[in-house]
Amino acid sequence: MHRKFVVGLLVLLAIPALADQVVLKNGDRLTGSITKSDGKVLVIKTDYAGDVTVKFDAIQSITSAGDLNVSLGGKTVVGPVTTSGDDVVVATKTAGLVEAPKVSVTMLRSPAE
């Protein structure tokens, strides 16, 4: 019985790790699926509030659980996205890690978009 409880607890704790996460500069945290960004605003689909639009310059960090298509000043790369300070880092399968300033993001899309 104790073992089932521990396994269930671990599964519940792992569920948020499968979602995309956006942390705002004011400390607020949004969890869901990043759908798109034009470099000025980002849209994340949440279970509790539907589509939430956030100003890109209000974002402190981004972590995507899956691949996103990211246009960085003229070239498009695909992979999971994280941020490091003022840079966006895309872990591509072919080119490895691609790092660029957040201000160079002109488009960000989920595969469904």
- How would residue 95 be classed by pLDDT, with cut points 50, 70 and 90? confident
Amino acid at 61: S
pTM: 0.79
| Element of type H or E holding 4 | helix 2-14
Reported confidence tier of residue 7, pLDDT bands at 50, 70, 90:
very low
Alpha-carbon distance of 29 to 62, in angstroms, equals 10
Assess whether pLDDT exceeds 90 at residue 84.
no
Residue-level pLDDT at 89: 92
Domain positions in the chain: 20-109
Q: Which CATH number fits domain 20-109: 2.30.30, 2.60.120, 2.40.160, 1.10.10?
A: 2.30.30
